Amino acid sequence: MNNRQKELLRLIVETYIDTVKPVGSKSLVKKLKCSSATIRNDMAYLETLGYLEKTHTSSGRVPSEAGYKYYAQNLMQQKEITNSEMNKLQTILDNKNLATSDAIIKCMEIISDITNYTSVVLGKESDNNTLKHISIVPIDDRKVVAVVVTNTGHVENNQSVIPDSISISDIVKACEIINKSLIGTKLSEINQKLEYEIKPVIIEKIKEYDSVMKFFYDAFNDFTMQNSDVFFGGKTNILKQPEYDEPDKIKGIIGKLENIELVKKIETDDKEINIFIGEENEFDDNVTVIKTSYNAGGEEGTIAVIGPKRMEYDKVVSLLNYLKTYIER
C-alpha cells in the first residue's frame, strides 16, 4: 500500500466506526484531494488485499476484520482524553476512602459509560478461600435455601425449588455427607471433589442421586460465580450498538456475558494494552476485546473493554492507558 491508500483505509475505518454506514468515494474527495475515480480504484485495490468489503445495498465499502486489524496495528493514533473524562476518572482515583480495587471497578464503569461498551475487571482470585460449611434451610415443602459459608466469613444464599422426584430429607442427608468430606476444601476444588469423591457415596445412599447432585452443583456454581472476582461495567451497553438489533444476536452475547468461565478467558498477564479482534479473542468472534493487566500496589488483575468490531479503538486504548498509568504510578 502507498501512503494515499493507507490514509484511505484509515478514513474508511474511522468514518464507518462513526456513522455505521458504508463509505463511498465521493465523501472522501475533499479529504484526500484526489478524484473520485482514483479513490474508487484504491478502494478496489484495498478490497483485493482483503481490508475492505463491499456491501450488497450500497456502492460504498466497509472495513473487513483484516482491515480493522491493520488499522489497529499500523494506522491508529490514540485519541486525546477530554478534560471532562479525565476529571471523572481522577475524582474516583483521588478518593482516599476507596480501596484500590473499588476505585478500579468504578473507573471501568465510567469508561463503559463514556464509550457505550461493556467493561470488565478480573481480579486475581484468592486461593485461600475454603468451605466452612453448607446448610439447608427449608422454606416450605418444595423450597429450600442453601447457605454456603467460607472460612473468611463470606455467606451466600441460594434459594431453589426442589423437584418432586426428591425429598428435602434427601437434600439434608447429602448436605451432611458434603460437610463431612469438604470442610476445608478450596473453593476452586469443590466441583472436582463433588464429582469424584462425593457422588460415589451419594449414589449408594440416595436413590435419586442425579437430582440431588444437580442441586448441589448449582448451589456451588452460583456461589463461585458470585465470588469469582469478575466485575462488569455497563454489562448491557454493548446491546446499544446497532450490531445487536436482532433477538438471536442479543441472546447470544448475553449468554456469553453470563458465562463466567468464558469471561475469565479474557484474563491476561500482559502489561501492554492489546487489541483482539474477532477470531483473535477467545470470547466471541463478532466482538473486539481490548485488555491489559494491572498491578496497583500489589493488587493484580485485568481490565478490559468488550465492544463490536466497529469499536472506537483509539478512544478505548487512550482511556485504558490513562487508567493503567494512573493506578500504577
| DSSP per-residue codes, 166-225 | S-HHHHHHHHHHHHHHHTT-BGGGHHHHIIIIIHHHHHHH-TTHHHHHHHHHHHHHHHHH
| DSSP per-residue codes, 148-161 | EEETT--EEEEEEE
The 10 Å Cβ neighbour count of residue 18 is 10
How far, in Å, CA of 300 to CA of 268, rounded? 10
Q: Are residues 219 and 148 in contact, defined by beta-carbon separation less than 8 angstroms?
A: yes
The 10 Å Cβ neighbour count of residue 189 is 13
- Locate 175 and state its grid cell: 448436605
| DSSP per-residue codes, 93-127 | HT-TTS-HHHHHHHHHHHHHHHHTSEEEEEEPPPS
Q: Edge to edge, what strands does the sheet with 143-150 contain?
A: 131-138, 143-150, 155-161
How far, in Å, CA of 254 to CA of 181, rounded? 36
Burial of 13 from C-beta contacts in 10 A (0-12 / 13-18 / 19+): buried
- pLDDT at position 329 is 86
Q: Which residue carries 448449582 as its cell?
A: 218
- Compute the 3-state secondary structure of the chain and give helix, strand, coil in percent, each to the nearest 5: 50, 20, 30
| DSSP per-residue codes, 33-47 | TS-HHHHHHHHHHHH
- pLDDT at position 128 is 62
How far, in Å, CA of 134 to CA of 148, rounded? 4
How far, in Å, CA of 205 to CA of 77, rounded? 65
Digitized pLDDT (tens) for each residue of the chain, 329 residues in all: 999 999 999 999 999 999 999 999 999 999 999 999 999 999 999 999 999 998 876 678 999 999 999 999 999 998 999 999 999 999 999 998 888 888 999 999 999 999 999 999 998 655 567 889 999 999 988 889 998 888 867 777 878 888 888 899 999 999 999 999 999 998 778 888 999 999 999 999 998 899 999 888 888 876 665 555 788 999 999 999 999 989 999 999 999 998 888 998 999 999 999 999 999 998 999 999 999 999 987 788 999 999 999 999 999 999 999 999 999 98
Report DSSP state, residue 23: B
- Hey, what domains does the chain have and what are their CATH numbers? 3-75 (1.10.10.10), 83-125+229-328 (3.30.450.40), 131-226 (3.30.390)
